[in-house]
Amino acid sequence: MVKLDLHGITHDKIHDTVEDFILCHDPPLEIITGNSSKMRQLVIEKLSEYDFQYRYKNWMNLGSLIIYETYG
């Protein structure tokens, strides 16, 4: 599974970074957001824009999202 670690990426770069990642790789993918709720929100906004489904890697660690397929 291809991973994108967003640690060290500023909030203003998230949309472009996530967009490039999800459009250049096939699911399943992992995006590591860390514990920032703002970072997680920005990633989810971009995933929703492209109708990607996601889930948390596990409920003990909400800092990682698994993108596993698109709706359409």
Beta-ladder partners of 64: 32
In a domain, 35, yes or no: no
pTM here?
Answer: 0.92
Domain span including residue 18 = 2-30+40-66
Please count the residues of the chain: 72
Q: Are 27 and 68 in contact (CB under 8 A)?
A: yes
CA angle centred on 21, ends 15 and 25, rounded to 5°: 150
Instruction: Kindly give the confidence (pLDDT) of every residue in the chain, 72 residues in length, as a single tens digit, with 9 standing for 90 and above.
Output: 999 999 999 999 999 999 999 999 999 999 999 999 999 999 999 999 999 999 999 888 899 999 987 665
Structural domains in the chain (count): 1
Q: Tell me, yes or no, whether 53 lies in a domain.
A: yes
Whether 71 maps to a domain, the answer reads no
